[in-house]
Amino acid sequence: MHIPIIFITGHGDIPMTVRAMKEGAVDFLSKPFRDQELLDAVVAATERDRKRREAQQTVANLQSLFETLSPREQAVMKLVAAGLMNKQVAAELGLAEITVKIYRGHVMKKMRARSLADLIRMTETLGVRTNRPEQTQV
């Protein structure tokens, strides 16, 4: 659970401040402080938490969409996002190029991607590995 923290102390020093900030404190206030400083810290903490929750929801939504893809559609998505053309994806997966085009269309529709760039951003947000499989030597 993530809770925004504002660290307030009457006896702070630099190492304590550094440690608090490294541990995720939004702000570090030493007493005495002005009321406005505390209010500003609360606003900043609230905004940071809102953005974090928004980003977390975006990833959860993308993950739900990704999970609707079949394993073959996921493979096509990864290779397309890695920059391969349909013909290259077909060769990698042992499919006909027209079949890859169909899978690619399904991926775009299911992921609600408006463009290839949009799909690439989605794979990056999801942390989906898009490297080409290693070529095996025969």
- Three-state SS at 31: coil
Residue 42 and residue 84 share a domain: no
Residue 104 and residue 76 share a domain: yes
What is the domain extent for residue 11? 5-55
Does residue 63 lie in a domain region? no
Can you give the CATH number for the domain in which 31 is found?
A: 3.40.50.2300
Does residue 136 lie in a domain region? no
Average pLDDT over residues 69-79: 96
Spatial separation of the C-alpha atoms in residues 28 and 47, rounded to whole Å:
17
pLDDT in tens, 6-52: 999 988 888 988 998 888 888 999 899 999 999 999 999 999 999 99
Residue 76 and residue 51 share a domain: no
Residue 42 and residue 72 share a domain: no
Residue 122 and residue 78 share a domain: yes
Does residue 60 lie in a domain region? no
Does residue 133 lie in a domain region? no
Does residue 121 lie in a domain region? yes
Can you give the CATH number for the domain in which 75 is found?
A: 1.10.10.10
Average pLDDT over residues 63-77: 96
Give the pLDDT score at 135. 46
* Cβ atoms of residues 44 and 27 within 8 Å: yes
Residue 74 and residue 43 share a domain: no
Count of structural domains within the chain: 2
Residue 72 and residue 36 share a domain: no
Give the pLDDT score at 125. 93
